[in-house]
A and B are shown apart, each in its own frame.
Chain A
Amino acid sequence: MATIAAPRRSPLSRALRDARLAAEESTGLLNWLATIDHKKIGVLYGVSAFIFFCTGGIEALLMRTQLVAPDSDVLNGDQFNRLLTMHGTTMVFLVVMPMSAAFFNLMVPLQIGARDVAFPRLNAFSYWTFLAGGIFLNASFFTEDIFSGQLGSPDGGWFGYAPLSLKTYTPGHGMDFYALGLQILGIASLAGGFNFIVTILNLRAPGMTLFRMPVFVWMTLVTSFLIIFAMPVIAVALFELTFDRLFDANFFDPSAGANPLLWQHMFWLFGHPEVYILILPAFGIISEIIPVFSRKPLFGYPFVVFSGIAIGFMSWGVWVHHMYTTGLGTIANSAFGISTILIAVPTGVKIFNWMGTLWGGSIRFRAPMMFAIGTVAMFTIGGLSGVTHSMVPSDYQQQDTYYVVAHFHYVLFGGAIFGLFGGIYYWFPKFTGRFLNETLGHIHFWIMFIGFNLTFFPMHMSGLLGMPRRIYTYTDGYGWDLYNLLSTIGAFTIALSIAIFIVNFLWSVRAGKKAGADPWDARTLEWSIPSPPPHYNFAEIPQVHARDEFWHRKYQEDADGNVVPVMAGAAHATETAHGGDGHDEHHAEGIHLPTPSFFPLIASLGFPFVATGLIYDYALIPVGATLIIVGFYGWALEPATEEVD
């Protein structure tokens, strides 16, 4: 490809090349806009997702403030609906998914011994499209008069149930923003999913067989497959909703004979794989952390991997457990009840594997480990309450109560968010060369842990006492008051812990304790290179001989079965790890990495124009389409790597 456009360059082509080379040299904004380095894209993903985490958190705090006592009027019902819709949509699509994508980006190439992902520009396209979708979705807040309390954001729930979400029942443009915003985010997720599957299958270092891959890489692979098969299903549902709302189509209109359950089936056929898209990356992260801080290999690696794969397959056969009360009949409910109970088995297997890893280990309770253990404990509670609503009769009682809210926050906050924070504490030294402050980390953990349980455990109680989800107020006398008060106190406690984390992060980036290449005495390849990693990652592509390759370079067993450092190997590891910077630079001279590109950003910018055009003014559609076409053609025609004259 690089040779095609080379011979005669037009002035335009030369200007583009100069811009790309300028971006490569730049250390400021220009570089970030055009970067195709997986590490920088990972940082962009992480920072953006964290900002969305704060907005979603503020939405939750507003709701908890409203619910602190009976009959309060901080928010009216309309505002509450819009906040609860945006809270759910934000946390799923703008926080947990992109935060996981941040870790895919940061870690996968380093863990498999590659210099970047398979398609660096497609990777940049994923990020910018995600950001465009996220901003588009949140811009909906401002489409009405926000200063007089009129929010314009979607108000049909993150699940967007049609026919309720049709124009007849949900007027205004909120749900248009929802349908089109999720469509844009879906494009971003799909592009990322393809990219990481190809990267993991094709870019592994020599000797890195599939069963030598770190578990995090395995979980990324399974998640990516779930993404590429689940996202098209929701894309179709969203297209159908968009056609119904904007062009009066009849996909979900019961008065035209449409089936009112079609949306629910499609949404949950996507939605249940989606919950594993949310949790498997966190499972991968803690499967990296627990062995390192137990100083033991992961107990039963093949079981962890195969149960991850089994979860991936089985996640397609359980969606009706979201729909027991819709009246599909006893046969359907029983069949899906059984499959739902079964999917708890591979999940339970993993929990025993993590416990087996801890068992007999030499455990260090550092901050990443605290979050990893927290994940296992909290996810187990959420998993158990999940099993309770796999039982159809029990679920009839729990459907649409706060018990369900308690359940999915235990798995998605207690599981995914705790795990992702563990990942931040664990890999922060790799990307900054500094530790996050350990004391503040423990304070963050304990306050968040207490706040989390204070918020969500009482919801089991209020739910079993019959408090419905999504109501914006309630009267006293039902016995819900105390539990709601506790939940609200807990929510603000969580907010406090996040504030502590932000302080810790900002302070540690500049002044944290210095960390070397391998500060945790870890097991996988990313720790064999300097912290922060050079832009080319590996001066020499490593040769892999074993699972936990880096550990085996550092340690071996003596005749009595004791683990002892490998003297010769240690020298080699230290040399690679701690630089011999001149040595690395010497090798690095021959490494040609792809040149930054602006075209992914240009193509991504087109999507919000098309979406806004569909809602407000068709004249914007050609503008967006032009950006997309210019972006894609420019991308296809430019050489991946520019030659410097």
Chain B
Amino acid sequence: MAVGTGHLETSTGLDNRKLLMWLFLGSECLFFGSFIAAYLLYRGRSTVGPYPEDLVDIPFTSVSAFVLLMSSVSMVLALAAIQRGNVRNLQIWLVTTAILGLAFIGGQAYEFTEFYHEGLRIDTNLYGTTFFVLTGFHGAHVTIGVLILLSLFTWSLRGGIQQKDSLNVELAGLYWHFVDIVWIVIFTLVYLVQPQ
């Protein structure tokens, strides 16, 4: 579909774009894995404060993590809707997912600001460096995801997404769920597990 190479079917039976997305996500695992490794290496090694235990607000971040997880549910519903040909529900769930994603990013912006006011900056200590860069890159991924969702929504308003185009939504969904899963790992390692 992405190419006019004359192959009606692919050798593996998988759509080219879906295979591409899976490979991309595999590559992303190494990307986030490397940042997480750097965070873990430096956990509890900061020589000056503020330290994580002074700053982290687990109840607040739990709520925003819950919001992000729920956005995966609405993403699934969006895909289910278009696979049944229901464009109206697709639009509803795409917007819901985007709003939940934006709420998460809003929470992150609030958290970054709070930490900043309490004296944690990227150059303060190892915690500041690894925390802002790791969660910042995750936030950037969520932001790109929101842009993709809103683009799909706009596209569907112009009649560009019908039942036969559900793969577009599926690909966005794969990316969205991946970013969600990465957050589960980050939330566990960066927030829940604190150095003793």
Which residues of A pack against B, CB within 8 Å?
1, 4-5, 114-120, 190, 193-195, 197-198, 201-204, 208, 228-233, 235-237, 239-240, 243, 247-251, 256-259, 262, 266, 541, 591-594, 633, 636, 640-641
Contacts and interface: CB of A to CB of B under 8 A. Distances in A.
Given A198-B20, A249-B133, A594-B3, A235 B47 contact: no
Contact of A201 (B3, B11, B38, B125): B11
B1 interface: yes
A119 B27 contact: no
Contacts, number: 134
Interface of B: 1-7, 10-12, 14, 16, 19-20, 23-24, 26-28, 30-31, 34-35, 38, 41-42, 45-47, 122-123, 125-126, 128-130, 133, 137, 151, 155, 160, 165
Contacts of B165: 4
A591 to B, nearest CB: 6
B11 A208 contact: yes
A640 B27 contact: no
Given A1-B1, A194-B20, A591-B6, A266 B122 contact: no
Nearest to A4: B160
Contacts of A202: 7, 10-12, 14, 16, 19
B133 A239 contact: yes
Given A204-B11, A251-B130, 4 more contacts: A195-B20, A197-B23, A203-B10, A231-B27
A262 B7 CA distance: 46
Contact of B27 (A198, A204, A229): A229
Contacts of A259: 41-42
Contacts of B129: 243, 249-251, 256
Contacts of A208: 11
Q: For B2, B128, B165, which residue has the most chain A Cβ atoms within 10 angstroms? A: B2
Given A1-B2, A233-B34, A250 B11 contact: no
A249 B122 CA distance: 5
Contacts of A118: 2-3, 5, 16, 20
A119 B2 contact: yes
19 contacts: A4-B165, A118-B5, A119-B3, A197-B23, A201-B19, A202-B14, A203-B7, A228-B23, A239-B133, A248-B123, A249-B122, A249-B123, A251-B129, A256-B126, A257-B47, A262-B38, A541-B6, A592-B4, A640-B3
A202 B45 CA distance: 47
B5 A114 contact: yes
Nearest to A541: B6
Given A201-B11, A259-B42, A247 B3 contact: no
Contacts of B20: 118-119, 194-195, 198
B4 to A, nearest CB: 5
B126 A258 contact: yes
Contacts of A198: 16, 19-20, 23
A592 B7 CA distance: 11
A640 B4 contact: yes
Contacts of A1: 1-2
Contacts of A256: 46-47, 125-126, 129
B133 A243 contact: yes
Given A258-B42, A541-B7, A240 B133 contact: yes
A622 to B, nearest CB: 16
B26 A228 contact: yes
B41 to A, nearest CB: 6
B147 to A, nearest CB: 9
A364 B38 CA distance: 54
A641 B4 contact: yes
A594 B4 contact: yes
A236 B123 contact: no
B3 to A, nearest CB: 6
Q: For B1, B19, B137, which residue has the most chain A Cβ atoms within 10 angstroms? A: B19
B41 A203 contact: no
A260 to B, nearest CB: 12
Contacts of B16: 118-119, 198, 202
A237 B27 contact: no
A266 B34 contact: yes
A425 B64 CA distance: 60
Q: For A236, A266, A640, which residue has the most chain B Cβ atoms within 10 angstroms? A: A236
Nearest to A637: B155
A476 to B, nearest CB: 46
Nearest to B123: A248
Contacts of B14: 201-202
B34 A257 contact: no
B150 to A, nearest CB: 12
Contacts of B5: 114-116, 118, 203, 593
A203 B123 contact: no
Contacts of A592: 4
B151 to A, nearest CB: 8
A239 B27 CA distance: 16
A505 to B, nearest CB: 31
B14 to A, nearest CB: 7
A501 B165 CA distance: 51
A235 B6 contact: no
Contact of B2 (A229, A231, A258, A640): A640
Contacts of B12: 201-202
Nearest to B44: A257
B187 to A, nearest CB: 20
B51 to A, nearest CB: 12
Nearest to B27: A228
A21 B47 CA distance: 62
B21 to A, nearest CB: 9
Q: Which 5 A-B pairs have the closest CB atoms?
A: A236-B34, A202-B10, A248-B123, A232-B31, A232-B30
A448 B117 CA distance: 64
Contact of A243 (B10, B23, B41, B122): B122
B5 to A, nearest CB: 4
A203 B27 CA distance: 21
Contacts of A636: 151
Contacts of B133: 239-240, 243, 249, 251
Nearest to B46: A257
Contacts of A194: 20, 23-24, 27
A114 B4 CA distance: 11
A633 B148 CA distance: 10
A425 B42 CA distance: 52
B3 A232 contact: no
